[in-house]
């Protein structure tokens, strides 16, 4: 039989009160600290300012953290839509004592985006630093102003025709690919074909190389997709925001491993282009944009502008990589989304599609050779296409959300927004303000007729942001969209498969759907007579 040592019961019982006293003391201290933290939060300027705004119920200490955690991608996207409809005004959430304001109306978007001072990006953008560095997208202050000055000439009106040649070449390749689907009458998942098209175009226009000619093209594409997935994974899990917990999770090491070949690829292309650049301009003695564009033998690339700045010691090699990686990443996914949603909309609007086709035929008829490629001036004549693209970008803005950090106490109307507030603009909801866009879900390009536009605040529609930090490449993007849309519509009718009602959005760095968006393409002419 097992026997208990003499005195054991007395020994244990004498220790229990001591242990209980220690636990009670720890619990009491924890409660005291939590109460003190909550008192501090409630006395803060951020908390007092937040009381001026509607928002979901915030619990002591937790604030609204319970609303944000443990959501899947679908619910994470839907939650702001629910709050926008519920509150109908800029609303607040509190997380760890930090005030987050979320604007859905032009009255609060204008003072933010028009300000030359409120240009600091929100904390979310720090998640991109390992990938993109601190370039034009992520930087602020003098560095941002300096990079903006360097890069602005790369998107000058006179340089766009060089980019147009690339858009048209890739459009011809896309038409050949879509023709195979049209021959069979099979539906097409738009995301893979649109992404391949835009990644090819941005690679050639940004870096001056044809991605499909590179042996690592497919690996590069897959790595870029993988990087986007891992960035989203971190974005969806706020406890991974801190570098310590991200490293502890093991995900940081995987992310860095994924980045290494992408950065190596970018550096190798920069070096190749640098050698070519100096070979072409060695005898010029002048690295002005005009000389570069006029004299360079190969097609102009954004990288040439950066190399000219490097020659004048305005930027170093790491800075060049920052900007090339930024434009590669930003420039392909956003334009791909715009192509996908525009094709979806016109597939369901045959009358709009017919008007677009007739406009294309009218412009072509004015040319000596109707089959000759359009010029930049021809695309500028596509006025109805302008309306269609603007309405598409209203309904489905590729970047549905932007975020700024408020760098100084600022009044928005009669409400104070204190320093260090995170101020978010939900472009998706802003574009659906029923007071500005009646029946906001209806696809109606006429909303952007001049007489309708002049009645609206310019900050009610901001697919390319607005103010000092507006998108530097918006003319580039619109020309690319017009080029590919014109090519598709001159060869095919776009027929619906996926309905708009079937679309389920998921949270991502850009506007993305849970399921593929499908359409069908039908030849306008017999393949052998086109």
> Which residues sit in the known binding site for heme?
471
Question: Please, are residues 424 and 494 in contact by the beta-carbon 8 Å criterion?
Answer: no
Distances (CA, A) of 477 to 138, 186, 469: 20, 29, 16
Nearest to 346 by CA among 359, 332, 331: 359
Structure tokens at 187: 């539906």
Strand-strand pairing, 98-103 and 422-426: parallel
Nearest-5° Cα angle at 258, 257 to 259: 90
End-to-end CA distance of the chain: 98
Q: The tokens of 95 are what? A: 């997380």
Which tokens is 226 given?
Answer: 């993988």
Q: Which of 500, 411, 494 is nearest to 118 (CA)?
A: 411
Question: How would you write 67-99 as a 3-class SS string?
Answer: HHCCCCHHHHHHHHHHHHHHHCCCEEEEECCEE
Which helix (H) or strand (E) segment is 423 a member of? strand 422-426
User: What's the sign of the alpha-carbon dihedral 257, 261, 266, 270?
Assistant: positive
Residue at token pair 């908390």: 47
Three-state DSSP class for residue 492: strand
Phi then psi for residue 494, to 5 deg, are -100, 120
**CB half-sphere exposure, 490, CA atoms < 13 A:** 24
Give the span between the Cα atoms of 375 and 470, in whole angstroms: 26
The two structure tokens encoding residue 225: 């997709």
| Ordered DSSP codes for 285-300 | ----HHHHHHH-SSPP
Known binding-site residue numbers: 471
Q: Is the separation of the CB atoms in 399 and 470 below 8 Å? A: no
| Residue bearing tokens 């998942």 | 189
């Amino acid at each position: 039989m097992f026997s208990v040592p003499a005195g054991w019961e007395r020994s244990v019982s004498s220790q229990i009160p001591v242990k209980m006293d220690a636990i009670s003391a720890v619990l009491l201290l924890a409660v005291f600290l939590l109460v003190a933290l909550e008192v501090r939060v409630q006395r803060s300027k951020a908390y007092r300012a937040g009381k001026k705004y509607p928002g979901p119920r915030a619990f002591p200490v937790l604030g609204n953290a319970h609303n944000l955690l443990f959501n899947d991608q679908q619910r994470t996207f839907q939650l702001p839509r629910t709050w926008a409809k519920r509150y109908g005004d800029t609303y607040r959430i509190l997380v760890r004592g930090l005030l987050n304001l979320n604007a859905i109306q032009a009255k609060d978007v204008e003072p933010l985006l028009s300000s030359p001072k409120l240009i600091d990006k929100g904390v979310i953008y720090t998640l991109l630093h390992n990938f993109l560095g601190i370039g034009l997208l992520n930087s602020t202050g003098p560095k941002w102003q300096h990079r903006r000055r360097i890069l602005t000439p790369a998107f000058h009106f006179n340089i766009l025709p060089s980019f147009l040649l690339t858009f048209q070449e890739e459009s011809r390749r896309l038409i050949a690919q879509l023709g195979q689907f049209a021959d069979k009458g099979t539906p097409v998942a738009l995301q893979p074909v649109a992404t391949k098209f835009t990644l090819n175009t941005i690679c050639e226009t940004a870096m001056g190389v044809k991605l499909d000619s590179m042996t690592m093209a497919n690996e590069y594409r897959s790595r870029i997709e993988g990087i986007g997935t891992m960035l989203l994974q971190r974005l969806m899990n706020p406890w991974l925001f801190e570098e310590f917990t991200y490293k502890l999770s093991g995900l940081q090491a995987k992310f860095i491993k994924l980045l290494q070949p992408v950065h190596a690829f970018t550096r190798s292309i920069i070096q190749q282009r640098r050698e070519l650049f100096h070979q072409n301009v060695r005898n010029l003695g002048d690295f002005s944009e005009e000389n570069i564009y006029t004299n360079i033998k190969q097609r102009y690339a954004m990288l040439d502008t950066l190399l000219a700045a490097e020659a004048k010691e305005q930027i170093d090699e790491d800075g060049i990589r920052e900007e090339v990686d930024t434009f590669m990443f930003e420039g392909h996914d956003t334009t791909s989304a715009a192509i996908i949603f525009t094709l979806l909309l016109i597939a369901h609007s045959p009358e709009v599609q017919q008007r677009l086709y007739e406009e294309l035929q009218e412009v072509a008829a004015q040319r000596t050779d109707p089959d000759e490629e359009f010029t930049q001036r021809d695309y500028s004549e596509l006025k109805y296409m302008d309306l269609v693209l603007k309405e598409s970008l209203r309904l489905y803005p590729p970047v549905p959300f932007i975020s700024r950090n408020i760098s100084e106490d600022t009044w928005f109307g009669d409400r104070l927004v204190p320093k260090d507030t995170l101020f978010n603009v939900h472009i998706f909801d802003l574009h659906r303000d029923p007071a500005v866009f009646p029946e906001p879900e209806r696809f109606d390009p006429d909303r952007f007729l001049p007489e309708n536009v002049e009645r609206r605040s310019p900050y009610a529609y901001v697919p390319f942001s607005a103010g000092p930090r507006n998108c530097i490449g918006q003319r580039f993007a619109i020309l690319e969209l017009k080029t590919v849309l014109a090519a598709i519509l001159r060869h095919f009718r776009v027929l619906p498969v996926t309905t708009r009602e079937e679309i389920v959005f998921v949270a991502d760095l850009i506007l993305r759907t849970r399921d593929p968006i499908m359409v069908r393409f039908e030849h306008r002419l017999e393949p052998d007579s086109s």
